[in-house]
Chains A and B, each alone.
Chain A
Amino acid sequence: MKSFFVTAPLHKNKPVIDRSKQGYRVLHYNGGLLKQPLPVTNLVEIQNLHFAYGDRPILTGLNMQFPRNKVIAVMGGSGSGKTTILRLIGGLIAPQSGAVKLLDEPIGRPGSPALYRQRRQMGMLFQHGALFTDLSVFENVAFPLREHTDLPESLLHDLVLLKLNAVGLRNAAQLKPSEISGGMARRVALARAIALDPQLIMYDEPFAGLDPISMGVTANLIRNLNDALGSTSILVSHDVHESFAIADQVYFLSQGAIVAEGTPAQMLASEHPYVQQFVNARPDGPVPFDYPGISLAQDLGLGVPHD
């Protein structure tokens, strides 16, 4: 397998493979070391991916790139396979064929130590927050820090408060998840997702069910956090206005395949019928309102000859 973890002694032309310096190129010169981030432009890549639930295909021949330090929106109707993409990147499910790569390394198989190592570079915001209901807001955010670090309690306390402050919920630290609203729960979940400063943050429908004020606040939060952490954000959403406001790049997904991609401005100007229908919320277009099948008249036995 090709490795991108290469050490290159400056005094020789012969590159040396060094897997221990993951994520960096280490340059040796006069007995010293110079660590440089590797020139991997895409943090995540999906290559010719096929995925099905049983006999029902969800994603077919999918190719996607998620460049570093960008906010990428994945949009599409219900059941188009958006959330499945996040679950595949997170290794919660495995594709039937094709590859999902994080930093040019294939995502490990479910349960493998390699996958758990890769997940330490990821954060994911679930649609309903998925907070631990038996823990307080503070303990929810502290959870990944307690699990993965041996930080002294005082430092951990300060870090958690800083994360909660970033989402505007520092003063709700002692509340239980049952005592906060859905929008607040999602912000707590966001604070928990960024607790370990991940390189990749995935958002599953972050705007669903939020009031307009919370929606704007959440959108700005996603953009600001991405820029502050220097991470890459993948945003799965239906909401055209908020997603276009913060995204650098947009993918449109329909029936398990990419139908259009580009910047928000390019998408707004797109002539593609699916994009037109989605962006302008038109009831008629390539996406039918009715689930495919027989007509209502046939179902009611109207105008159809009886046996």
Chain B
Amino acid sequence: MINRLITSLGGAVREWLAELGLAFRTLLAMLVSGLGLWRRPRLITTQIHFIGNYSLVIILVSGLFVGFVLAYQGYYTLNRYGSESALGLLVALALARELGPVITALLFAGRAGTSLTAEIGLMKAGEQLAAMEMMAVNPLQRVLAPRFIAGLIAMPILAALFTAMGIFGGYLVGVQLIGVDEGSFWSQMQGGVDLWEDIGNGIIKSVVFGFAATFIAIYQGYQADPTPEGVSRATTRTVVLSSLMVLWLDFVLTALMFK
């Protein structure tokens, strides 16, 4: 009984390590092949447009609603201590340091990530990647690398837009609806938010999350079983793995950045 348990545990660990090794090899090969893309920037800009368009509406709407809720909840707490004038600061810090990058990454994984996985998985199932290989075109360079770089660029921009919309939502509820003083809302925010400590760390987080979420999405598509069921499973794995990875990375990065 114990022997069987140890054997199956060992087998699972070995499989996990092999999978991890394959993922790193694919990442390395993709990054090396992606170096040649500087001559063909259009491949990347097309993907930025594609990925950005996919996620923009959901990011903006979500940002607005998160801002609404933050303002309500923040006011409820701050009002107890007579500090409602700090509402702008609270909304801005929560969004720039935490909620902006994290929620954007989760939405990005659910919206753009799944479509990347499905697209690449279906290209594999339809032998399009094999056809590309047979035309002496490396799919890592032609298909995966442009999407990866595009995700890396699009993610911080989307996170910034989410944060901006969230602050606007907080302003609408806090100032226009509840009646917090507009001057203190903006001035406390301006005085309390540090460019490097808060905004900078938020940007670093969003770049790291973009790296993780985009790579997981394209890797899952690339390694998907070339069947409808395989693509479906890969898409589900993208959402689950990306979400867990983003939350874990958020914890690690916050711990490293915390002073």
Number of interface residues of B (CB under 8 A): 13
Interface string of B195-225 (1 = CB under 8 A from A): 0000000000000000000000000000000
Whether the Cβ atoms of B135 and A126 lie closer than 8 Å is no
- For residue A120, CB closer than 8 A to chain B, the reply is yes
Q: In this assembly, does B12 line the interface, its C-beta being within 8 Å of a C-beta of chain A? A: no
Q: Is there an interface contact between A147 and B142, defined as CB atoms closer than 8 Å? A: yes
Closest to A195 in B: B135
Do the beta carbons of A128 and B142 come within 8 Å of each other? Answer: no
Residue-wise, chain A 34-46 has the 8 Å CB interface mask toward B (1 for contact) of 0000000000000
Q: In the complex, A148 Cα to B136 Cα: how many Å?
A: 9
How distant is B241 from chain A, measured CB to nearest CB, in Å?
Answer: 25
A133 neighbours in B (Cβ, 8 Å): 126, 128
Give chain A interface residues in 132-150, CB to chain B under 8 Å.
Answer: 132-133, 143-144, 147-148
Contact in complex: B126, A130 (CB < 8 Å): yes
- Assess the A124–B131 pair: CB atoms within 8 A: yes
Measured as residues with beta carbon below 8 angstroms from the partner, the interface class of chain A is: 20 to 34
Name B29's contact: one of A111, A119, A143, A196 (CB within 8 Å): A111
B133 interface residue (CB < 8 Å to A): yes
Per the bound structure, the CA–CA distance linking A111 and B137 in Å amounts to: 10
A123 to B116, CA, bound (A): 28
A148 to B138 Cα, complex, angstroms: 12
From the candidates A120, A126, A148, A192, name the one contacting B130 in the complex (CB within 8 A): A126
CB pair A122 B126 closer than 8 Å: no
- Closest A residue to B122 using CB positions: A133
B229 to chain A, nearest CB (A): 18
With a cutoff of 8 Å between Cβ atoms, the chain B residues found around residue A16 in the complex are none
Once A111-B29, A147-B142 are accepted as A-B contacts, the answer to whether A122 and B134 lie under 8 Å apart by CB is yes
Query: When the two chains form their complex, are residues B136 and A116 in contact, meaning their CB atoms are under 8 A apart?
Result: yes
- Taking CB atoms, residues of chain B closer than 8 Å to A90 are 133-134
CA distance A192 to B135 in the complex (A): 9
Q: In this complex, what residue of A is CB-closest to B133?
A: A92
A128 to B29, CA, bound (A): 29
Residue of B nearest to A87 (CB): B130
Neighbour of B135 across the interface among A127, A131, A147, CB < 8 A: A147
CA distance A126 to B125 in the complex (A): 12
CB distance from B30 to the nearest CB of A (A): 11
Interface mask (B113-141 → A, CB under 8 Å = 1, otherwise 0): 00000000000001110110111111000
Would A130 and B130 count as touching, CB distance under 8 A?
yes
In-complex Cβ contact of A143 among B127, B130, B133, B135 (8 A):
B135
A residues within 8 Å of B by Cβ? 90-92, 111, 116-117, 119-120, 122-124, 126-128, 130-133, 143-144, 147-148, 189, 192, 196
Those 6 A-B pairs whose CB atoms lie nearest each other, nearest first: A130-B131, A130-B127, A119-B136, A124-B134, A144-B135, A120-B136
- Can you report 16 residue pairs joining A to B where beta carbons are below 8 Å apart? A90-B133, A90-B134, A91-B133, A92-B130, A92-B134, A111-B138, A124-B134, A130-B126, A130-B127, A132-B128, A143-B137, A144-B136, A147-B135, A147-B136, A148-B136, A189-B131
